[in-house]
Structure 1
Amino acid sequence: MQCSGVKPNLISYNTVIHGYCLRGDIEGANKIFETMSAKGIVPDSYTFNSLVRGMVKEGREKDVSSLLEKMKSFGLIPTAVTYNTLIDSCCSKGDLEKAFFYRDEMVKIGIVPSVATYNLLIHALFLDGRMVETDDMLKDMSEKRVLPDGITYNILINGYCRVGNAKKAFKFYDELLSRGLQPTIVTYTSLIKVLGKRNRMKEADDLVVEILRKGIFPDLIMFNALIDGHCANDNVERAFDTLNEMNKMNVQPDEVTYNTLMQGYCKEGKVEEACMLLEEMKGREIKPDHISYNTLISGYSRRGDMDDAFRVRDDMLGAGFNPTLLTYNALIQGLCKKQEGVLAEELLKEMVSKGITPDDSTYLALIEGIGDVDSFLGRKDTS
């Protein structure tokens, strides 16, 4: 630029500083800052906000204080953008004390927190399990005449769904709709999940109809939430219908989809149907994982079909998955129910030799098939 006879101005320097900060090159950004200062070009708030964002992004919060002091030395006051950047960084690290320190500091110098400020803090409070304090934040917003936006409502709905408070979640959902704002697909999925936990899957299905009426198409995560809800509420056939609906809408299922359905069928003792699903997922080039195999092993073991359970265990090994604690527990439980104590002992030896520590479930199962487990393991009572 200088070679062409055009002198760089503040906008030029700000653009370059911003670019260096985006690239994570804070040293380069600082050199440009020093150059512009040496040439008598006075930085503005945009200059400092870029540097603050860059430093925060690179984890150099300790340098921010001196930068803010430098900002003040130029007669500039940190803006809402400056503080929101710092608050966002603190919230993402779980340092709410520092986040509220910056909030109080911005209020002290006369900057009213924006809706973005409140959204950051409310979201962080939910993540920290401090739901009661979100009510205080909403009250503070109201007193400062800061109107909640769609993001605020979506944070509140998702937060209350996460802790299973369907009543509050739907209260804010109704408020959001009454203000003409739109829920996100993540919010709809959260509502479906909380309805599933409350055995209200009819309402979840109705919500999907409402979503479709608005021209919003469910994604994989939403379909998985529906399938999980129906399976959890002992309606695996409705869950299977949901898989068919996914196929009609060209939404590709994943291993979570199939694992959930397989668990639903095994819960009802329909292990053959679960096996068919395993073959279907293979046919669709969806790779089964250890959960897929453990589900079938547990299903067969609960029914006492131990030959089939061990066959699936062999398939699991052939697919490159090592048996887990759940694998061994399922097999041991199945063997002990059939009074196959000797085989259960062999499995116990095998799991211990592989470094897998038996847990309470292992011991409870072994009591049925083995007389003295501690003696078998070579342990002595030191009490």
Structure 2
Amino acid sequence: MKEAFRVRDEMLKVGFDPTITTYKALVLGCCTHHEVEQAKELLKEMKRASDMSDSGLVRYAYSDNSYNFVMYKEGGLEEASDLLPEMLELESGLVPHTLIYDTLIDECCTKGIGTKGSLDEIDKAVAYKDEMISRGIEPTIVTYTLLIVALFEVGRSWGAEDMIKEMQEKGLKLDVYTYNTLMSGYAKCKYIDAHIGIYDEMVEKRIQPNLLAYNTMMLGHCRCSEAQKLFDKMKTSGIKPDHLSYNLLIAGYSYRGGYVKEAFRVRDEMLKNGIDPTFTTYDALILGLRINHEVEQAEELLKEMVSKGICTPDDKKYLILTDMVHRER
């Protein structure tokens, strides 16, 4: 950054005024290097230059939403949070675009559901949404979907439902992605009735479920006959099943004693349609054979996995699977 500012100083020395591009490059650099205070000074300098020249420099800078998005994402959540008040104070009536808040909310949600997640981060994300409303910036369906996903992920289904109600009260129409998010969230929380209700609502509103929606529904029904009906309906709707679709159905049949033949039937259909079985496919079939005490066929599949390059003989998961089969002897 020192070199960048050196060039800027030389620019001033020879009589060239910094342009919007100059300021944008310097602010982005400061954010990337976590030099928040210097970024703030640049914003103030940009404001002074705008006032003196009546060039609208500040307004032009903040109307460039793609730049704002990059600046905040590159700088990180802490820097974005620190710069937000500064931006709001720069000019009366000048507020950041919804995209800025959505970026902050996304960062908080990502932190909150990460391996070292914190519910405080989720609370902070919700607080940003409330701040948007208090500043007269209406949250969009993207804003609510980000929050709904995070709330379901951390087990706060009640919070997700509150967001759904608020979204509907504001007249925001749920799209197919939001419906998929709701179904996935309810499935993870084991709320099967609510999960089915969302699907029924999609059908009632004539919103065509996509591949993700069907797979999510099958995930919730993988141990009952409804999974096959959903699978068939997906195909008649013109949606091609993928690896997950087939694997969910195979697992559903394999884990129910006496239905291993049906699992192999689905595997054969999978091959016929040009989709190669994965480790998950073999794992489900082998466990189904183990439940039925069909050890020899299970051992044949273990050999097939290696011969087809699905895994190596020293693969940890393969060794665990092999050990489980051999215990049946």
Q: Is 1:249 equivalent to 2:249 in the alignment?
A: no
Q: Following the alignment from structure 2 to structure 1, what is the Cα–Cα distance between the partners of residues 262 and 42?
A: 63
For residues 32 and 227 of structure 1, do their structure 2 counterparts lie closer, same or farther at Cα, with a shift above 3 Å needed? farther
Change (3 A) 1:13 1:251: farther
Corresponding residue number in structure 2 for 1:280: 304
**Is 2:178 aligned against 1:152?**
yes
Superposed displacement of residue 290, structure 1: 2.8
TM-score, normalised relative to structure 2: 0.77
* 2:187 equivalent among 161, 171, 178: 161
1:240 aligns with 2:264: yes
Displacement of 1:169: 1.0
The alignment-based identity, stated in percent, is 30
SS of corresponding position for 2:212: helix
Residues 147 and 13 of structure 1: CA distance in aligned 2, closer, same or farther (over 3 Å): farther
Letter in 2 for 1:91: C
**Partner residue of 1:212?**
235
Give the match for residue 195 of structure 1. 221
Query: Could you tell me which residue of structure 1 aligns to residue 97 of structure 2?
Result: 79
Residue matched to 1:43 = 58
In the TM superposition, what is the alpha-carbon distance from 1:86 to its structure 2 partner? 1.0
Deviation at 1:47, TM superposition (A): 4.1
2:254 to 227, 231, 234: 231
Q: CA deviation at 1:283?
A: 2.8
C-alpha deviation, 1:121, in angstroms: 1.0
Distance (Å, rounded) in 1 between the aligned partners of 2:63 and 2:217: 40
Alpha carbons 2:109, 2:122 under 8 Å: kept: yes
Q: Determine the structure 2 residue equivalent to 1:59.
A: 76
Contact 1:26–1:54 (8 Å) recurs in 2: no
CA distance in 1, matches of 2:43, 2:90: 15
User: Structure 1 residue 215: deviation in Å?
Assistant: 1.8
Alignment counterpart, residue 140 of structure 1, candidates 163, 166, 172? 166
The one of 43, 63, 68 equivalent to 2:85 is 68
Q: Distance in 2 between matches of 1:72 and 1:216?
A: 51
Q: Write the distance in 2 (CA, Å) between the matches of 1:140 and 1:38.
A: 40
With over 3 angstroms needed to count, the CA separation of the structure-2 counterparts of 1:249 and 1:298, relative to structure 1, is same
- Unaligned stretches of 5+ residues in structure 1: 304-383
Corresponding residue for residue 209 of structure 2:
183
Post-superposition offset of 1:182: 3.2
Q: Which amino acid aligns with 1:194?
A: G
**Alpha-carbon contact 2:210-2:239 (below 8 Å) kept:** no
Q: Is the 1:87–1:120 contact (alpha carbons within 8 Å) kept by the matching residues of 2?
A: yes
RMSD between superposed Cα atoms in Å: 3.2
Gap change, CA 1:278 and 1:43, over 3 Å in 2: same
TM-score by length of 1: 0.67
CA contact (8 A) 1:265 1:274 kept: yes
Larger radius of gyration between Structure 1 and Structure 2: 1
Q: Report runs of 4+ in structure 1 exceeding 6 Å deviation.
A: 31-39
